[in-house]
């Protein structure tokens, strides 16, 4: 069992007096005790002790219970990484053939269509090919703009904005018709073999084309390519950048300049994988402060920022819970009097758009703001 | 009062689904088990021993007071037990569904409905988490003054049900002091609302009937609570006394002077030498007092000066601000298990060891005697035989008395059924010490299903009054049967 390697860490959460319970993104919206971090970890502890067995019911809890946002760790005095433990349990469930049906469907889609949504592979670039100039495709440049599934299928505007910024900054870059899903949703859902298949595919593409540098506007792709690939032995031999840091660099080098500022009161949402996983908090803020007339912080920001609910397949598997999580974040935006929320993640943007009900708050990606101003 | 056969269960299930929607009726076996486990010693020990836990027939998550009223009418008609449920933080088994029935999870009633800055009040639904409430108030520059150890997981309704206390209760009061008004769904489905006023002379205070009733008399759905402006200054001080007695005398005199610390925790010599030393690095021998003062700076200056003078008069040595400030900054850290402490938790909550907190409250005339006798009884009868320790602190102060928070632990108790038998015996012996000297069964956790049998000993004829009230309000005995000794 994969969880055996984490037994002591699981015990720490299993015997914790619920210190992160109402912090937990999923629990605080569902309010179901079996979905609280401490109780699902206790369930794992009982499995380790032989007092409970993996089952479909356990699987249902362990998939529903965690959006992998890592907010729990930011409040934990001992810094527990609960998503790591949940991922280990999910790997056990995959090996035992006990995954819930939506997870099996996501797995099949990932292997068949190379994306987690079940959308056709042939449609991956249909939208973005209309907004990224033909000459940028497979151009032979050493810098790759890695589009990612969420941008390709649902947020082509982010790809348009990102490539236009790179273009304005005088960056020679390519987009690659061979890219596939980075593998993060599959990795977090315990589908390690599938994730590795996708990783190997991308590694081969990056190696064959000789890319020296990769830029992506998706924090999940960024985390996966920069952190998980090397840790699992998939050496890309290329620098990996998130677009926010890349924009900051272009600004510092004077290669792009803002022509004005946007009106309105704007706040910033830290995407979980850019913030808590990769600790990139300041670059997006530095850019935004230059880009907007009035910038306000949410009460809980940076490592304690609320999750938007969209990440790593959670919104695919549990869309109703994901919408509630997004609504919770949007209530925060209204409380601080912001009328626009900027994030730096295609999945967050899509989820917040799905969660908006009254249309009072507008959602943007950082790249879309920047591209308007240069 | 078991619910009955499967066809009847199915009928009731369908009625519950009609009321709250199917996504809010949980019937999974693991859900039922987990709602019963919580973190209380008894349930976890039963799990470790392989015993079957008592389980609810349904876990229902109503989203409104109206839905709760409908559920109670259904339950009353069908004679089904209803167990009101908050954040699962009870250590006293107050929500263990020993007779099955409907476990009524109130956490979807989670709105802070309004703040009156002029009258310093907040109207809050029962399922609101304590931390969430405090966070909402802090944004506006206010505090509830209620910062319990279970801050991050407990609900306001749960605290009302258990007459709960927080770390700052010496100044800001316990739940019974914080509530001005309540809305309660009665067992027969009617909704009672008390008038939220600071005082009245129009008969008994009905709020106090429901505060501490542990779900036996109805379901609290909403409360009007006092709030306080965030203090301009909050300052802490550590003092070491030669012994517990001198610390107790100092604190008694401080309270007598009308100096009201926002918090004061006086640890006995054993806890000072162990937990206080390990957690906060205080290495002095004796009894450690950490106290805090908050409010306007001028008042804090005066209170601190008087308090330190009194401490000095009782032999207390001022350790400065650092120990107290450290305590405040790290007041929750102690609860997070570490790789080291989790070994103890595994033994304590894994059926191999026993331990609990037998907190009580009494007047200054007797509290010291209670402490010493509890300690003597525990050590003579159990501690020496089963390798145990006993220590305590005093942390909720009144002008007339104080709460004692004794903790005990047995490292080498017998196993199996003897373990739970021993657990009950220790509880019984220790609470009887408190009762003999005019103390109470509990000060701030409620008594749940662990201490109900001792209620007649505390209340005397008053317990008959409680039973009659229960019979009138809950004629079919559906509300959380078994708690408070009310069956």
List, for residues B283-300, the tens digit of each pLDDT value: 999 999 999 999 999 999
Per the CB < 8 A criterion, the answer to whether A218 and A346 are in contact is yes
Interface contact A46, partner B, CB < 8 A: yes
Cross-chain residue pair A22–B153, CB shorter than 8 Å: yes
- Interface membership of B435 toward A (CB under 8 Å): no
pLDDT in tens, B162-180: 999 999 999 999 999 999 9
Neighbouring C-beta atoms of residue B298, cutoff 10 Å: 10
Chain segment B341-382, per-residue pLDDT in tens = 999 999 999 999 999 999 999 999 999 999 999 999 999 999
Q: Does residue B277 carry a pLDDT above 90? A: yes
Spatial distance between the Cα atoms of B204 and A326, rounded to a whole number of angstroms: 46
Contact criterion met (CB < 8 Å) for B105 and A31 = yes
Look over chain B and give the mean of its residue pLDDT values, rounded to a whole number. Answer: 96
Region A85-96 average pLDDT: 98
CB A229 within 8 A of CB A199: yes
Per-residue pLDDT tens digits for B16-58? 999 999 999 999 999 999 999 988 899 999 999 999 999 999 9
Both structure tokens of A275: 């913030």
Under the banding of pLDDT at 50, 70 and 90, the label for residue A114 is: very high
Flag whether residue A6 sits within 8 Å of chain B, measured between CB atoms: no
Q: Whole-prediction pTM value?
A: 0.96
- As a whole number of angstroms, the distance between CA B16 and CA B58 comes to 9
pLDDT in tens, A296-324: 999 999 999 999 999 888 999 999 999 99
> Residue B90 — very low, low, confident or very high, per pLDDT cuts 50/70/90?
confident
> Which of 3.20.20.70, 3.40.50.1860, 3.40.1260.10, 3.40.640.10 would CATH assign to domain A114-250?
3.40.50.1860
Q: Is B45 on the interface with A (CB under 8 A)?
A: no
Its ipTM equals 0.95
pLDDT digits (tens, 9 = 90+) for B290-328: 999 999 999 999 999 999 999 999 999 999 999 999 999
* A33 contact residues in B (CB cutoff 8 A): 31, 34-35, 88, 105
pLDDT, one tens digit per residue, over A242-263 is 999 999 999 999 999 999 999 9
pLDDT band at A118 (very low <50, low <70, confident <90, very high): very high
Domain ranges of chain A: 2-99, 114-250, 258-373
Does the pLDDT of residue B383 top 50, yes or no? yes
For chain B, say whether A274 makes contact (Cβ under 8 Å).
Answer: no
Alpha-carbon distance B150 to nearest alpha carbon in chain A (angstroms): 7
Residues, chain B: 487
What percent of chain B clears pLDDT 70, i.e. is strictly above it?
A: 99
Q: Does B136 touch chain A (CB under 8 A)?
A: no
Predicted confidence (pLDDT) per residue in A319-347, tens digit: 999 999 999 999 999 999 999 999 999 99
The pLDDT value given to residue B2: 53
pLDDT band, residue B1 (cuts 50/70/90): very low
CATH topology of domain A2-99: Fumarate Reductase Iron-sulfur Protein; Chain B, domain 2 (1.10.1060)
CB contact under 8 A, B336 and A8: no
State residue A360's pLDDT score: 83
For residues B153-166, give the mean pLDDT.
97
The predicted-structure confidence for B215-273, as pLDDT tens digits, reads as follows 999 999 999 999 999 999 999 999 999 999 999 999 999 999 999 999 999 999 999 99
Work out the widest C-alpha separation in chain A, in whole angstroms: 65
- CATH number of the A258-373 domain: 3.40.50
3 state DSSP class of B162: helix
Q: Is the pLDDT of residue B440 over 90?
A: yes
Q: Using an 8 Å CB-CB cutoff, list chain A residues near B86.
A: none
Of A23, A32, A46, the CB nearest to B26: A32
Mean per-residue pLDDT for A221-249? 98
Instruction: Label residue A57 by pLDDT band (50, 70, 90).
Output: very high
Domain A114-250 shares a fold with domain A258-373: yes
**Ordered DSSP codes for B178-233:** HEEEEEEE-TTS-EEE----S---SSS-HHHHHTT-TTSS-EEEEEEEE-EEPPSE
Q: Which residues of A are less than 8 Å from B89 in CB distance? A: 17-18
Q: Are A154 and A163 in contact (CB under 8 A)?
A: no
Q: Is B339 in contact with A21 (Cβ distance < 8 A)?
A: no
Structural domains in chain B, sorted by start = 1-230+451-487 (3.30.465.10), 233-335 (3.30.70.3450), 341-450 (3.30.300.330)
Q: Which helix (H) or strand (E) holds B114?
A: strand B112-116
In this prediction, residues B118-138 reach a mean pLDDT of 98
Is a pLDDT exceeding 60 seen at residue A238? yes
CB contact under 8 A, B47 and A75: no
The pLDDT-based confidence of B4 (bands split at 50, 70, 90) is low
Given an 8 Å threshold on Cβ–Cβ distance, is B89 in contact with A18? yes
How high is the mean pLDDT of chain A?
A: 97
pLDDT computed for residue B398 by the predictor: 98
Chains A–B, number of C-beta pairs less than 8 Å apart: 99
- The three-state secondary structure class of B169 is helix
* pLDDT, tens digit, 9 for 90 and up, residues A7-51: 999 999 999 999 999 999 999 999 999 999 999 999 999 999 999
């Amino acid at each position: 069992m994969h969880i055996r390697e984490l037994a002591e860490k699981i015990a720490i959460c299993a015997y914790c007096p619920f210190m992160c319970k109402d912090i937990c993104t999923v629990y605080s919206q569902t309010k179901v005790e079996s979905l609280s971090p401490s109780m699902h970890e206790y369930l794992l502890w009982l499995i380790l002790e032989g007092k409970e067995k993996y089952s479909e019911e356990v699987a249902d809890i362990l998939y529903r219970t965690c959006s992998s946002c890592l907010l729990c760790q930011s409040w934990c005095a001992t810094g527990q990484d609960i998503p790591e433990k949940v991922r280990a349990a999910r790997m056990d469930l995959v090996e035992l053939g006990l995954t819930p049906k939506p997870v099996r469907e996501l797995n099949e889609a990932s292997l068949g269509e190379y994306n987690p949504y079940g959308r056709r592979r042939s449609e991956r670039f249909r939208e973005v090919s209309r907004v990224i100039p033909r000459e940028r495709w497979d151009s032979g440049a050493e810098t790759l703009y890695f589009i990612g599934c969420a941008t390709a299928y649902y947020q082509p505007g982010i790809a348009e904005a990102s490539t236009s910024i790179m273009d304005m900054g005088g960056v020679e870059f390519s987009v690659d018709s061979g890219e596939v899903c980075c593998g993060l949703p599959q990795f977090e859902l315990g589908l390690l073999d599938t994730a590795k298949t996708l990783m190997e595919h991308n590694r081969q593409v990056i190696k064959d084309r000789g890319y020296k540098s990769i830029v992506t506007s998706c924090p999940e792709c960024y985390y996966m390519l920069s952190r998980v690939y090397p840790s699992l032995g998939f050496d890309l031999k290329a620098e990996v950048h998130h677009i926010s840091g890349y924009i900051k660099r272009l600004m510092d080098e004077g290669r792009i300049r803002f022509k004005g500022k946007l009106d309105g009161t704007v706040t910033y949402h830290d995407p979980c994988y850019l913030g808590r996983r990769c600790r990139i908090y300041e670059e997006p803020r530095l850019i935004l402060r230059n880009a907007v007339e009035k910038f306000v912080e949410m009460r809980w920001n940076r490592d304690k920022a609320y999750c938007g609910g969209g990440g790593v397949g959670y919104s695919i598997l549990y869309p109703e819970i994901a919408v509630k999580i997004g609504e919770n974040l949007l209530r925060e935006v209204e409380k601080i009097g912001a009328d626009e929320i900027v994030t730096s993640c295609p999945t967050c943007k899509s989820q917040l758009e799905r969660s908006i009900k009254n249309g009072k708050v507008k959602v943007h990606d950082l790249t879309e703001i920047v591209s308007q101003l240069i | 009062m078991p619910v009955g056969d499967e066809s009847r269960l199915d009928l009731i299930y369908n009625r519950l689904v009609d009321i709250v929607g199917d996504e809010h009726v949980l019937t999974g076996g693991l859900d039922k088990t987990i709602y019963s486990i919580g973190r209380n010693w008894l349930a976890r020990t039963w799990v470790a021993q392989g015993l079957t836990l008592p389980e609810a027939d349904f876990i229902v998550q109503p989203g409104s007071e109206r839905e709760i009223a409908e559920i109670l009418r259904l339950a009353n008609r069908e004679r089904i037990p209803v167990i009101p449920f908050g954040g699962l933080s009870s250590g006293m088994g107050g929500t263990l569904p020993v007779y099955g029935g409907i476990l009524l999870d109130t956490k979807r009633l989670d709105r802070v409905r309004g703040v009156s800055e002029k009258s310093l009040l907040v109207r809050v639904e029962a399922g609101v988490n304590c931390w969430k409430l405090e966070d909402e108030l802090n944004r506006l520059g206010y505090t509830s003054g209620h910062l319990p150890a279970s801050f991050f997981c407990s609900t306001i309704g749960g605290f009302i049900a258990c007459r709960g206390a927080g770390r700052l209760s010496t100044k800001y009061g316990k739940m019974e002091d914080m509530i001005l008004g309540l809305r309660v769904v009665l067992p027969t489905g009617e909704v009672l609302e008390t008038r939220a006023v600071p005082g009245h002379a129009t008969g008994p205070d009905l709020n106090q009937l429901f505060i501490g009733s542990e779900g036996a008399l109805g379901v609290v759905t909403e409360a009007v609570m006092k709030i306080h402006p965030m203090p301009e200054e909050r300052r802490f001080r550590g003092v070491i006394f030669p012994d517990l007695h001198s610390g107790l005398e100092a604190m008694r005199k401080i309270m007598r002077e009308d100096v009201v610390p926002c918090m004061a925790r006086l640890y006995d010599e054993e806890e000072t030498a162990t937990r206080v030393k390990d957690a906060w690095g205080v290495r002095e021998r004796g009894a450690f007092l950490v106290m805090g003062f908050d409010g306007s700076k001028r008042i804090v200056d005066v209170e601190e000066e008087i308090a330190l003078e009194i401490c000095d008069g009782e032999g207390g040595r001022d350790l400065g601000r650092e120990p107290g400030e450290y305590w405040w900054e790290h007041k929750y850290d102690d609860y997070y298990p570490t790789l080291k402490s989790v070994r103890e938790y595994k033994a304590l909550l894994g059926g191999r060891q026993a331990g609990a907190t037998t907190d009580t409250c009494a007047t200054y005339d007797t509290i010291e005697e209670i402490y010493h006798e509890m300690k003597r009884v525990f050590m003579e009868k159990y501690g020496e035989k089963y390798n145990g320790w006993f220590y305590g602190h005093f942390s909720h102060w009144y002008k007339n008395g104080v709460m004692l928070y004794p903790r005990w632990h047995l490292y080498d108790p017998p196993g199996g059924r003897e373990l739970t038998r021993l657990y009950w015996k220790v509880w019984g012996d220790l609470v009887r010490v408190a009762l003999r000297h005019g103390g109470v069964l509990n000060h701030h956790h409620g008594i749940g299903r662990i201490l109900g049998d001792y209620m007649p000993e505390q209340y005397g004829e008053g317990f008959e009054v409680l039973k009659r009230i229960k019979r009138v309000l809950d004629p079919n005995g559906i509300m959380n049967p078994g708690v408070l000794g009310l069956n």
